Chains A and B, each alone.
Chain A
Amino acid sequence: MTWRVIAAIAQKDLIDAIRNRYLLIALLTPLSIALLMRVLLPGLENISNLTIVVHDPDRSTMVSKLRAAPQIKLVDVDSAATARAEVEKIKASGALVIPPNFDADVAAGKQPKLTVYVNNKKNNIEQGGFRRLVERQVESLVQRPPPAEVNWINVHEETASPAEREFNLNHMLLPLLLLLAFGMTGAFVVPLLLVEEKEKRTMDFLLTSPAKLTEVIAGKGLTGVVYSVLIAVVLLALNRQMIGNWPLTTLSILLGLLLVVAIGLLMGSLFQTTMQVNTWASLALLVLIAPSFSFPGAPVALETAMRFIPTYYFVEALKLSMAGTGSLRMCGYSAIVLALTFVTLFAVTWTLRREQN
C-alpha cells in the first residue's frame, strides 16, 4: 500500500465531505447535542465533581477525608471571612469553615459550630449533592455505635461489578455522545463516501489511477478515523472532568472508532446507491448506539441481546475506564472483541469489494 495514495484520497474526502451539506450535518449533530446539553444543563458535569472552599486551620480529620476523595476539589483559604467571597469568585459548590480544635471538641462532645456556605446559584442537583456530602461527613463523626445494624440485601443477584456500580447516570452522557458521533461517521459518512464514488462513477477513475482497491478503502477509513478523532477530542474536552483513567479511555475510544469505521466500510461495500445508505443507516445508527442506554440492573434478556452488538464492548470498556477504577485487565476482554471485530469487518469489506470488481 502506498501512503501517498491513501493520504491523497483521505485529504480529498476530508474537504469534499464538509462541502456535502448532508454529511456536514451528520458530523456536527453530536457536537451540537453536546453543546446544547452544556447550555441547557450547565451544572450537569458537576454533580459528582464538587469544588469546595475550605478554611481549616487545624487540619481536621473530616477535611482530610474529603481531600482524599478523587471527585472533590478543595480550595483552601486563610480566613473564615474570605470563604464566602471565594465561593462566589470561583463559583464553587460551597464552603466549609472549620473552627479551631474541631477534632478535640467533637471528641469531647462539645458540639463545635461548623459554618457551611451553600452556593444557591448552582442548580438544585448540585446543591443537594453538596448538602448530602456535608451531612454524611458530620454523621460519620459520631463515635458511638449506631442504634441498630441494617443488613441491606438485593432481591436480585448483583451483576454489575464495583467499577460499573460507580458509573452513574451522569456518565451515560459521554458514551452516548461518543457513540452517536461514531455512529454518524460509521453509518452515514463513511458508507456515503464509498457509495458516492460508485454512484458517480468516480470509482472507475480511482481504479484506473495508481490507487489500489485496498488503498481506496483505507483512504475512506482514514477519513472516518480523522473525523471521529476530531469529534472525540472536542467531546472529551467538553466533558474532561468525567474521565477517571485517561490512557484506558483513549484506548477504548480508539478501538471504538476503528470498529464503527470498519462497519461503515462494510456498509459502503454492500450498498450501491445513496438511497440504500439513507434507508439503512438510521436503523444501523439505532442499533449501534443502543448499548449506550444499557445500565446496571437492566433486564438479563436485554443485556444478553446487547452483547451481540459490537459497540456494547466499546461502552463496557469506556464505562470502566471513565469510572477510573477499571484496569487494562478488566477492559481487556472488551478491547480484544473490538479489535477482532474490526479486523474481521475490514477483511470482509476488502473481499467484497474485490469480488464486486
Chain B
Amino acid sequence: MNSIEVDGLSRTFNGLQAVDRISFTVEAGEVFGFLGHNGAGKTTTIRMLSGQLRPTAGVARVAGCDVTTEQERLKPLVGVVSENQNLYERMSGRENLAFAARLYGTNPGRVDEVLRQVGLLERANDNVKHYSNGMKQRLLIARALLHRPQIIFLDEPTRGLDPVVAREIRRLVVQLSTEGVTIFLTTHYMEEADELCRRVAFLSEGHIVALDTPDNLKLAHGQKSLKATLDDGQTLTISLDDEVAGKQLEELVSGGRLRTLHSTEATLEEVFIQIAGRGLSE
C-alpha cells in the first residue's frame, strides 16, 4: 500500500519553476530519500505534500488525502521536521510540546512519552534557547511524533549536528521505520541516505532525474572491479567482468602477498554527480 502517491506535481513562484512535473510513490513504512542540491525543490515538495503549499499543477495523495482539497484531514496524519529549527525559544521543551498537544488535541500525557523517547525528559523544563542544536533537533522530532502521525517528513534532520548526535537521530529514524511510520527524508549526506533509505530519488532543478534503491543506482553507475593493495605497496585493479579475475584473486590470496582488498563500486555521491552534473555541496 502506498502512503504517498505523486503524479505530475509542479509549483512555480513568480514564473520560476521550483518543482516540475515530478511523479513517484512511497510505500507504507518505507524510508524514502529525496536528494538534491540547494534550491532543487526538496523543501517545496515537502511543503506541498504536508499541506502547507498549494501545487500549481498535478495531484498528490498523502495518507489517502488529496493535498490540495483535503488539507484539514491530512494535517493530523503527518508530522514535519523543518530544516529550520522552528521552536519557541522562550518556552521550555515541555511547553513547546504541550502547546503542540493542545493544537492537535493530543492527550497531554503523551508529552512526557515522546520526551523520554528522544532522551530529553531530564531537560524538559529548560528554555529551548539553552538547548544545543542536537537537543533542538530531537525536540523537533518529538514534536513531529507527538500526535502519532502515519508519515513523517524530515527535512535535513542531521544538518550541522556532530556525528554522535547525527547517529542518534538516524537511530530514531530506523526505530520509527520499524514501527511502521513512513519516512520522507531529505538530506545532503549521501552516506546517510545510503544507510537509511530503501529507495532514493535524485532531484535536480525541479526534476526527478533518478529513482531507485541505492544499491541499484550504484551498480548501474559504478565499475564492477576490485582494488587490491599488496605487501610491497603496489596496487592492482581487477575487473570483475574479466574472465581471469577469479584466478587472479586466488593467486593473490594463496601467495600471501595481499594486504587489503576493496570493491570499487561508485558511492551514491558519485552516482549523483554523474546524473545531476554536480555534487550536493556545490
Which A residues fall within an 8 A CB radius of B? 4-5, 7-9, 11-12, 15-16, 19-20, 200-202, 204-212, 357
Kindly identify, within residues 99 to 116 of chain B, every residue whose CB is under 8 Å from any CB belonging to chain A: 99-100, 102-105
Q: A4-B102, A8-B103 are in contact. Are A204 and B84 (CB under 8 A)?
A: yes
Q: Which 3 A-B residue pairings sit nearest by Cβ, starting from the closest?
A: A8-B102, A201-B86, A201-B84
The number of residue pairs between A and B whose CB atoms lie closer than 8 Å in the complex comes to: 64
- B90 close to chain A: CB less than 8 A: yes
The distance in angstroms between the C-alpha atoms of A60 and B78, with both chains bound, is 82
Interface bits B139-158 vs A (CB < 8 Å: 1, else 0): 00001000000000000000
Best-buried of B72, B75, B99 by chain A (most CB within 10 Å): B99
- B residues near A16, Cβ cutoff 8 Å: 88, 90-91
Partner of A207, one of B52, B90, B105: B52
- CB of B80 within 8 Å of the partner chain: yes
Flag if B99 contacts A202 (CB, 8 Å): no
- Chain A residue nearest to B85 (CB atoms) is A201
Q: Tell me the bound Cα distance from A188 to B203 in angstroms.
A: 43
A139 to B75, CA, bound (A): 79
- Given contacts A4-B102, A205-B80, A207-B52, are A212 and B72 in contact (CB under 8 A)? yes
A211: nearest chain-B partner, CB-CB: B103
Return the contact of A205 from the options B47, B53, B86 (Cβ within 8 A). B86
Shortest B82–chain A CB gap in Å is 6
Q: Find the B residue at minimum CB distance from A8.
A: B102
- Asked if residues B89 and A200 are in contact (CB atoms below 8 Å), the reply is yes
Shortest beta-carbon distance, A210 to chain B, in Å? 5
A7–B100 alpha-carbon span in the complex (Å): 12
B82, B87, B88, B104: which contacts A210 (Cβ < 8 A)? B104
A-B contact pairs, 23 of them (CB 8 A): A5-B102, A9-B103, A12-B91, A16-B91, A19-B91, A20-B90, A200-B86, A201-B84, A202-B88, A204-B80, A204-B82, A204-B84, A204-B86, A205-B80, A205-B82, A205-B86, A207-B51, A207-B52, A208-B75, A208-B78, A209-B104, A210-B105, A357-B52
Chain A residue nearest to B50 (CB atoms) is A208
How far, in whole Å, are A210 and B89 apart by their CA atoms in the complex? 21
CA separation between A7 and B102, bound complex, in Å?
Answer: 9
A295 to chain B minimum Cβ distance, whole angstroms, is: 43
Contacts of B102 in A (CB 8 A): 4-5, 7-8, 11
- On chain A, the residues within 8 Å of B72 by CB distance are 210, 212
**Contacts A8-B99, A8-B103 hold; do A204 and B52 have CB atoms under 8 A apart?**
yes
Q: Which residues of B contact A211 (CB under 8 A)?
A: 103
List chain B positions with a Cβ less than 8 A from chain A.
47, 50-53, 72, 75-76, 78, 80, 82, 84, 86-91, 95, 99-100, 102-105, 143
CB distance from B55 to the nearest CB of A (A): 13
How many angstroms between the C-alpha atoms of A271 and B205 in the bound complex?
A: 30
- Taking A11-B102, A16-B88, A210-B75 as given, write out 12 further A-B residue pairs in contact, using a Cβ cutoff of 8 Å, ordered by the A residue number: A7-B102, A19-B91, A200-B86, A204-B82, A206-B103, A208-B52, A208-B78, A208-B80, A209-B100, A210-B72, A210-B104, A211-B103
A9: nearest chain-B partner, CB-CB: B103
What are the residues of chain B within 8 A of A207 when measuring CB–CB?
Answer: 51-52
Q: In the complex, A212→B73 CA distance in Å?
A: 12
- With CB as the reference atom, state the residue of chain A lying closest to B75: A210
| Complex CA distance for A289 and B228, rounded to whole angstroms | 82
Measured CB to CB, the nearest residue on chain B to A206 is B103
Within the complex, the shortest CB–CB distance from A169 to chain B, in Å, comes to 42
CA distance A200 to B163 in the complex (A): 26
The distance in angstroms between the C-alpha atoms of A129 and B97, with both chains bound, is: 61
B103 closest partner in A (C-beta): A209
The complex places the Cα of A195 from the Cα of B80 at a distance, in Å, of 21
Write out the residue numbers on chain B whose beta carbons fall within 8 Å of the beta carbon of A212.
72
Q: How far is the CB of A105 from the nearest CB of chain B, in Å? A: 74
Residues of A within 8 A of B86 (CB): 200-202, 204-205
Q: Which of A20, A210, A212 has the most CB of B within 10 A?
A: A210
Closest B residue to A12 using CB positions? B99
Q: How far is the CB of B153 from chain A (nearest CB, A)?
A: 8
Inter-chain CA distance A20–B72, complex, in Å, is 32
A12 — which chain B residues lie within 8 A by C-beta? Answer: 88, 91, 99
Closest to B140 in A: A205
- Cα-based distance from A16 to B92 in the complex (angstroms): 11
Least CB distance, B95 to chain A, in whole angstroms: 8
Contact residues in A for B82 (Cβ distance below 8 Å): 201, 204-205
A241 to B273, CA, bound (A): 79
Chain A residues within 8 Å of B105, by CB: 4, 210
CB distance from B62 to the nearest CB of A (A): 12
Complex: how many Å from CA A202 to CA B86?
5
